[in-house]
Protein backbone atom coordinates (compact mmCIF):
# COMPACT_ATOMS: atom_id res chain seq x y z
CA UNK A 1 0.00 0.00 0.00
CA UNK A 2 1.37 3.41 -0.93
CA UNK A 3 1.83 6.34 1.44
CA UNK A 4 -0.90 8.19 -0.43
CA UNK A 5 -3.36 5.34 0.10
CA UNK A 6 -2.43 5.14 3.78
CA UNK A 7 -2.97 8.89 4.20
CA UNK A 8 -6.37 8.67 2.49
CA UNK A 9 -7.36 5.83 4.82
CA UNK A 10 -6.22 7.84 7.82
CA UNK A 11 -8.28 10.86 6.76
CA UNK A 12 -11.35 8.69 6.20
CA UNK A 13 -10.86 7.09 9.61
CA UNK A 14 -10.58 10.51 11.25
CA UNK A 15 -13.74 11.75 9.53
CA UNK A 16 -15.61 8.65 10.68
CA UNK A 17 -14.32 9.14 14.23
CA UNK A 18 -15.46 12.79 14.20
CA UNK A 19 -18.96 11.80 13.10
CA UNK A 20 -19.18 9.10 15.76
CA UNK A 21 -17.83 11.50 18.38
CA UNK A 22 -20.45 14.12 17.56
CA UNK A 23 -23.22 11.56 17.91
CA UNK A 24 -21.69 10.09 21.07
CA UNK A 25 -21.87 13.47 22.79
CA UNK A 26 -25.66 13.15 22.68
CA UNK A 27 -25.60 9.96 24.78
CA UNK A 28 -25.51 10.36 28.55
CA UNK A 29 -25.76 6.84 30.00
CA UNK A 30 -22.44 4.98 30.00
CA UNK A 31 -24.01 1.65 29.05
CA UNK A 32 -25.87 3.26 26.12
CA UNK A 33 -22.62 4.90 25.02
CA UNK A 34 -20.81 1.55 25.10
CA UNK A 35 -23.53 -0.07 22.96
CA UNK A 36 -23.46 2.88 20.55
CA UNK A 37 -19.66 2.73 20.18
CA UNK A 38 -19.77 -1.04 19.66
CA UNK A 39 -22.20 -0.56 16.77
CA UNK A 40 -20.76 2.63 15.31
CA UNK A 41 -17.12 1.58 15.33
CA UNK A 42 -17.85 -1.91 13.99
CA UNK A 43 -14.81 -3.52 15.63
CA UNK A 44 -12.46 -0.89 14.22
CA UNK A 45 -10.26 -0.47 17.28
CA UNK A 46 -8.35 2.50 15.84
CA UNK A 47 -11.52 4.50 15.20
CA UNK A 48 -12.89 3.53 18.61
CA UNK A 49 -9.67 4.60 20.34
CA UNK A 50 -9.77 7.93 18.52
CA UNK A 51 -13.40 8.50 19.56
CA UNK A 52 -12.66 7.52 23.16
CA UNK A 53 -9.70 9.90 23.22
CA UNK A 54 -11.97 12.73 22.10
CA UNK A 55 -14.63 11.74 24.64
CA UNK A 56 -12.14 12.35 27.43
CA UNK A 57 -12.78 16.03 26.68
CA UNK A 58 -16.54 15.66 27.17
CA UNK A 59 -16.68 17.25 30.66
CA UNK A 60 -14.77 20.31 29.42
CA UNK A 61 -16.97 20.57 26.34
CA UNK A 62 -20.15 20.41 28.43
CA UNK A 63 -18.86 23.11 30.79
CA UNK A 64 -17.82 25.42 27.98
CA UNK A 65 -20.85 24.82 25.75
CA UNK A 66 -23.80 23.58 27.81
CA UNK A 67 -26.13 24.07 24.84
CA UNK A 68 -23.84 22.30 22.35
CA UNK A 69 -23.52 23.64 18.81
CA UNK A 70 -19.76 23.61 18.33
CA UNK A 71 -19.04 19.90 18.40
CA UNK A 72 -17.51 19.64 14.94
CA UNK A 73 -15.18 22.58 15.54
CA UNK A 74 -13.94 21.04 18.78
CA UNK A 75 -13.55 17.62 17.18
CA UNK A 76 -11.61 19.17 14.32
CA UNK A 77 -9.30 21.03 16.71
CA UNK A 78 -8.69 17.86 18.73
CA UNK A 79 -7.86 15.82 15.64
CA UNK A 80 -5.48 18.48 14.31
CA UNK A 81 -3.75 18.75 17.67
CA UNK A 82 -3.37 14.98 18.00
CA UNK A 83 -2.05 14.68 14.43
CA UNK A 84 0.60 17.31 15.12
CA UNK A 85 1.90 15.11 17.94
CA UNK A 86 2.48 12.14 15.61
pLDDT of residue 45: 93
- Counting as low any pLDDT under 70, the low residues of the chain are 1-13, 65-86
pLDDT of residue 26: 85
pLDDT of residue 36: 96
pLDDT of residue 32: 95
pLDDT of residue 83: 53
* Residue 80: domain span: 3-84
pLDDT of residue 3: 64
Q: Report the alpha-carbon distance of residue 45 to residue 66 in Å, rounded.
A: 30
3-state helix, strand, coil in the chain (%, to 5): 75, 0, 25
Count of domains for the chain: 1
pLDDT of residue 60: 80
Q: Report the alpha-carbon distance of residue 39 to residue 32 in Å, rounded.
A: 11
Amino acid sequence: MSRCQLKAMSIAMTEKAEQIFASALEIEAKEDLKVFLDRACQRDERVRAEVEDMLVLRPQIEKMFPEGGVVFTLADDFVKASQSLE
